[in-house]
Amino acid sequence: MEKIRAAAVQFEHVAKDKTVNLAKVKKFVRKAAKAGVQIICFPECCITGYWFIRKLDRKGVEEISEPVPDGPSSKELIRLAKKYNMIIGAGLVEEASGKFHNTYVVAMPDGTFHKHRKIHSFENAAMDSGSEYTVFDTPLGWKVGVLICYDNNIQENVRMTRLLGADLIMAPHQTGGCELKNPNAMGRVERELWDNRKQNRKAIEAEFKGDKGRGWLLRWLPSRAHDNGVYYLFANGVGVDDDEVRTGNAMIIDPYGRIMTETWKADDVMVVADLDPALFERNTGRRWIVTRRPELYTLICQRTGQEEDTIKVRFEHEIS
């Protein structure tokens, strides 16, 4: 394994407008290529748009979906990956045999692809959750895993992804600024602050750096990287997402849970960092993993009767 240059992107998507959203993807890929980036992570559902999905009926979900990899968006990602010799990940709504998924497509430089279907999908009752972890080899010598937004909230998902060999986790999100009943978790960012961001940048960035954005993330996200000894590419939406405002906060985290680079700008932004595999040697999280005692953890693999559907938890309890 050698050092690699990685990028995480935040951008404001337009609901249903794949042309506009893919144009932003292409712009950032070109910029990343000039910076020598080898792997780039874009946000969850950034091609189709995100939060408006919950208001669609089944036909509406079908209209924005497309097959992977035969759909036009996947083909364009693969074309870009080949042209710029770059690993490119971006999210959309996938149609597969009459079922729909929140899917993350990772296009490879050789024209192949990988995809991850969100394990804890709650965006629309017509969409099904995935049931497989996604870890794959890359020509860079690194193993890459993918976990979409809520997938990262469940610690077991991150541990499983590492146990399957991931050195780097692509973590596309649409989070921050979520309006929740729980006063201790995020909260609404007023649309007026976003609309007036050019006149009063300090006001909106204070929200992004506070508990509705960065403050919330730092309570748990770096620990996912640290406890599993993996690099994390956190890519997020920013700006208007239906009736909420996403907080961006794109960042890259090292396998000790340290933030290598980040942004709290109220704008479309890409952050870049060089990832050094030397940090895996004697890494704290990796040392902890090898001292696990699986025989003590059987309860984790058993149903306790307390399990609930992700949609119910997200919309009824609203605790995350």
Note if the bond before 69 is cis, omega within 30 degrees. Answer: yes
In terms of C-beta distances under 8 Å and separation of at least 24 residues, what long-range contacts does 121-125 make, across chains too?
Answer: 121/150, 121/310, 122/150, 122/310, 122/311, 122/313, 122/314, 122/315, 123/45, 123/50, 123/53, 123/54, 124/53, 124/54, 124/56, 124/61, 124/100, 125/311
Helices 155-163 and 221-228 cross at an angle (nearest 10°) of: 30
pLDDT digits (tens, 9 = 90+) for 75-132: 999 999 999 999 999 999 999 999 999 999 999 999 999 999 999 999 999 999 999 9
Q: CA 175, CA 73: separation in Å to the nearest integer?
A: 23
> Across the strands, what pairs with 136?
144
Overall fold of domain 4-317: Nitrilase/N-carbamoyl-D-aminoacid amidohydrolase (3.60.110)
Q: What are the CA-CA distances from residue 77 to residues 29, 82, 265 (Å)?
A: 10, 9, 26
Instruction: Please check the confidence at residue 317 and state whether its pLDDT lies above 60.
Output: no
Structure tokens at 192: 């007026």
Sequence ranges of the domains in the chain = 4-317
Q: How long is the chain?
A: 320
pLDDT digits (tens, 9 = 90+) for 225-280: 999 999 999 999 999 999 999 999 999 999 999 999 999 999 999 999 999 999 99
CA angle 33, 35, 38 (to 5 degrees): 55
Please check whether residue 268 is in contact with residue 282, taking contact to mean a CB–CB distance below 8 angstroms: no
Q: What is the pLDDT of residue 315?
A: 79
E strand or H helix that includes residue 246? strand 244-247
C-alpha torsion angle, residues 297, 303, 309, 314 (rounded to 10): -40
Q: What is the pLDDT of residue 319?
A: 43
Q: CA 272, CA 287: separation in Å to the nearest integer?
A: 27
Please name which of 130, 146, 149 lies closest in space to residue 220, comparing C-alpha atoms.
Answer: 149
pLDDT digits (tens, 9 = 90+) for 148-203: 999 999 999 999 999 999 999 999 999 999 998 888 999 999 999 999 999 999 99
What's the mean pLDDT in 16-23? 98
Q: What is the pLDDT of residue 311?
A: 83
Please check whether residue 4 is in contact with residue 278, taking contact to mean a CB–CB distance below 8 angstroms: no
Q: What is the pLDDT of residue 318?
A: 53
Instruction: Please check the confidence at residue 320 and state whether its pLDDT lies above 60.
Output: no
Average pLDDT, the chain: 96
**Whole-prediction pTM value?**
0.95
Please check whether residue 185 is in contact with residue 179, taking contact to mean a CB–CB distance below 8 angstroms: no
pLDDT digits (tens, 9 = 90+) for 283-292: 999 999 999 9
Q: CA 126, CA 65: separation in Å to the nearest integer?
A: 12
Structure tokens at 162: 């590492």
